[in-house]
Chains A and B, each alone.
Chain A
């Protein structure tokens, strides 16, 4: 399966909102509501911030929100804060008997 497509970089000033896209196909993002997003600060373990397209795990600020339209999922970070600067990865179920999963290439979010 091919990796999901994310922009390599995104940026915004503190307090602004930024949206990161994640484009797949009918076989993954578009076919299932099992899209998740991970925040990865260098040197730390990745952390899930969105699952099932738009659900937030306990403890994740509501500044993070997810959505999906067709074959493209998106992550919006509102009210940007310095600590939001990190790499963000989307992931989706890829719909085979092998429990296939696929990740996006990652987006480096810079808080200006």
Chain B
């Protein structure tokens, strides 16, 4: 059974950089897409983007293009989400999840990581 374990909570100042991680255990993930999802305080889920671990093919939701970078290290079954210059509006819970893809079409996310809380405040 695949489990996704995310890095812990972070408290950062505006302008700082950050990389959070999502590590798979229990099964190799190199033939899966991993997605990142944001949940801002009191708000719903938003899809950020996807990465295919085998070749690091990356796709971004338009609102997040250029705002974050998704990367991966296949050798350690880990995906990353990073910011070069955080803003207060980046404060949110961030989830990673494995995406089931059927004939090239994204189907559903399962399983999900436990979430990484990012707080950006001066």
Minimal beta-carbon separation of A87 from chain B (angstroms)? 8
Chain B residues within 8 Å of chain A by Cβ, number: 28
Please determine whether B110 and A48 come into contact, CB atoms closer than 8 angstroms: yes
Q: How far is the CA of A106 from the CA of B35 in the complex (A)?
A: 19
Please determine whether B107 and A34 come into contact, CB atoms closer than 8 angstroms: yes
A12 CB–B CB distance under 8 Å: no
The answer to whether A47 and B44 touch (CB under 8 A), given A32-B105, A99-B59, A99-B106, is no
Interface SS, B side: strand
The answer to whether A45 and B113 touch (CB under 8 A), given A1-B62, A36-B107, A93-B106, is yes
CB-CB < 8 A to B44: which residues of A? 3, 87, 89, 103-106
CB-CB < 8 A to B114: which residues of A? 44-45
11 new A-B contacts, CB < 8 A, other than A47-B112, A51-B100, A105-B44, are: A1-B61, A3-B46, A45-B113, A45-B114, A57-B110, A93-B107, A99-B50, A101-B47, A101-B61, A103-B45, A104-B44
